[in-house]
Structure 1
């Protein structure tokens, strides 16, 4: 996997978003949990769950019939709230996974930088939030290399590169991240792009150029507003998200997106390191939906097919 100065290294790839959702996604609900006192998990109708990979799940999830998923639903087209529903690429992939596993995925939106910390508490079984799989996250390290937890395992399901979101017309003539030296940059706090911006600024100084002025916001929507108003030159984001924002925000009249395809890296479904059974079940389910075509259909629905993977990989990030 290649890397560049903007390679996500320490904290989320993420990205948050705005703009109207043009396609209404739906969560596919499959088999329910145990309806009897029997130790054998059942479907709602009373029969044993016959989903292909149901038996691979941990017993507590089999009985509950639900995988509780934490997400930050502000990141179209990956995950976004539409009324009371959370829709997008990730929920549609999860719905396909749920068919293989015989359970439903229940998404709950929270603040991005708190999601991983909720895994050991049992609040979530998994985190699926366009989160970059990084060694730091696998090892439970913060952006300064300090140990903050036991870490997580990732099942990698998507690939994204850096997207540079600029004001419509690109008044500063930005063509790559190298053009950001000496400029003001807006990013979402706690993401890998905040870390990437700091690393890029340091490189600018090393190269004898002016550092980047970085403004970090709690949501990417705030960073976008800063760019739109002219208060910042650009917002760093994941490529599919930047492209979606440029296409949809203000009817396509607010932003332009530039993709840096040289730094592609994986998004992963995160699970607690102790929950290897769930991790492996998710890996097998992802391979199954890649094989049967439902994975590709979920991506194509949202115009995200460029990020498709061909095989489930555990902890493939660097």
Structure 2
């Protein structure tokens, strides 16, 4: 989710049948809950000191053998709840990393715009939630340009652009952000998508093309519901998420993706800036997972291999 420091933002669960309900309604139930899944317990992961990178982890994690992960599990296919577990791209990547590190990745769901606060307060060790690596988040700058925290480091593991999600049939003929002038849009609060819409609203005003009205919600599922009902003309999402929603919600009859994919950039695993040991262990684990093929296998399970990286980077976002 691809933007502001305080939030998510903001890149498109049985898997096909359940996804529509989760994406538009069921996901609302997860926003502030403690649903958990444990990455690294599948696929024959090596647990403990026998794993190749276990010794490179901070002592506290070696002792607990758990990396606590903050996420917003309302964002299929990146992370969502299914059968009482959090599943998706990010948990699958965590499984691959677990084989290298020898610890369990324990996911807990909360609202996106509280994830960085949770990381900074120690409630989680990392964030894996389709979070875009941006300079503002690295520096702890909020969406008003003010210093709001110490910032975070990112281990970048995924690339994605953003796309507009509109009601099936695209009744307003939306093809680009410029077509939104004079319209109402819906978006998840605290995401970079909200920032993108705010920037577009300023452009609409400057060019005198009509006011762009923005409705912001705690979850993207709420924004989707608003678009589906006709109360807003578009939502903005990472391309894999928008594509997944369009294919699955309402059996593929509720939404469609329109316009070109724009603003491509990296998603990162967010780590506290003071925890460089964990950051570096994760970077090395990702490189090893890329080399042994388990990373690509994780992405292939969710049909998002086009977003793969060929090397782990740190703070490569702009």
TM-score (norm. length: structure 2): 0.88
How many residues are treated as equivalent by the alignment? Answer: 295
1:28 equivalent to 2:24? Answer no
Given that residues 161 and 260 in structure 1 are in contact (C-alpha distance below 8 angstroms), is that contact kept between their aligned partners in structure 2?
Answer: no
Hey, what's the Cα distance between the residues in 1 that align with 2:316 and 2:291?
20
Matches within 5 A, 1:53-64: 53-64=53-64
1:121 equivalent to 2:117? Answer no
Q: Which residue of structure 2 lines up, in the alignment, with residue 268 of structure 1?
A: 268
Hey, what's the Cα distance between the residues in 1 that align with 2:211 and 2:303?
35
Describe the shift of the 1:31–1:279 C-alpha distance in structure 2 as closer, same or farther (beyond 3 A): same
Hey, what's the Cα distance between the residues in 2 that align with 1:8 and 1:137?
7
Q: Which residue of structure 1 lines up, in the alignment, with residue 141 of structure 2?
A: 141
Q: Which residue of structure 2 lines up, in the alignment, with residue 185 of structure 1?
A: 185
Hey, what's the Cα distance between the residues in 2 that align with 1:246 and 1:53?
39
Given that residues 46 and 100 in structure 2 are in contact (C-alpha distance below 8 angstroms), is that contact kept between their aligned partners in structure 1?
Answer: no
Q: Tell me, which stretches of 5 or more residues in structure 2 are unaligned?
A: 14-18, 23-36
Query: Which structure features the higher share of helix residues?
Result: 2
Q: Tell me, which stretches of 5 or more residues in structure 1 are unaligned?
A: 1-6, 33-42, 44-48
Q: Which residue of structure 2 lines up, in the alignment, with residue 110 of structure 1?
A: 110
Q: Which structure 1 residue ranges, 4+ long, deviate > 4 Å from structure 2?
A: 7-11, 15-18
Describe the shift of the 1:310–1:250 C-alpha distance in structure 2 as closer, same or farther (beyond 3 A): same
1:12 equivalent to 2:13? Answer no
Matches within 5 A, 1:205-220: 205-220=205-220
SS at 1:268's partner residue?
strand
Q: Which residue of structure 2 lines up, in the alignment, with residue 198 of structure 1?
A: 198
Q: Which residue of structure 2 lines up, in the alignment, with residue 296 of structure 1?
A: 296
How many Å apart are 1:316 and its aligned residue? 0.8
SS at 1:271's partner residue?
strand
Q: Which residue of structure 2 lines up, in the alignment, with residue 3 of structure 1?
A: none
Given that residues 86 and 107 in structure 2 are in contact (C-alpha distance below 8 angstroms), is that contact kept between their aligned partners in structure 1?
Answer: yes
1:70 equivalent to 2:66? Answer no
Describe the shift of the 1:217–1:262 C-alpha distance in structure 2 as closer, same or farther (beyond 3 A): closer
What per-residue deviation string (whole Å, max 9, x for no partner) do you get for residues 88-119 of structure 1?
Answer: 00000001000001111000001111111112
Given that residues 131 and 269 in structure 2 are in contact (C-alpha distance below 8 angstroms), is that contact kept between their aligned partners in structure 1?
Answer: yes
Given that residues 12 and 242 in structure 2 are in contact (C-alpha distance below 8 angstroms), is that contact kept between their aligned partners in structure 1?
Answer: no
Given that residues 101 and 285 in structure 1 are in contact (C-alpha distance below 8 angstroms), is that contact kept between their aligned partners in structure 2?
Answer: yes
Cα RMSD (Å): 2.1
Hey, what's the Cα distance between the residues in 2 that align with 1:305 and 1:15?
13
Hey, what's the Cα distance between the residues in 2 that align with 1:16 and 1:188?
14
Given that residues 185 and 215 in structure 1 are in contact (C-alpha distance below 8 angstroms), is that contact kept between their aligned partners in structure 2?
Answer: yes
Structure 1 range deviating more: 207-216 or 128-137: 207-216
How many Å apart are 1:178 and its aligned residue? 1.9
How many Å apart are 1:196 and its aligned residue? 0.9
Given that residues 26 and 87 in structure 1 are in contact (C-alpha distance below 8 angstroms), is that contact kept between their aligned partners in structure 2?
Answer: no
TM-score (norm. length: structure 1): 0.88
What per-residue deviation string (whole Å, max 9, x for no partner) do you get for residues 23-43 of structure 1?
Answer: xx98432455xxxxxxxxxx4
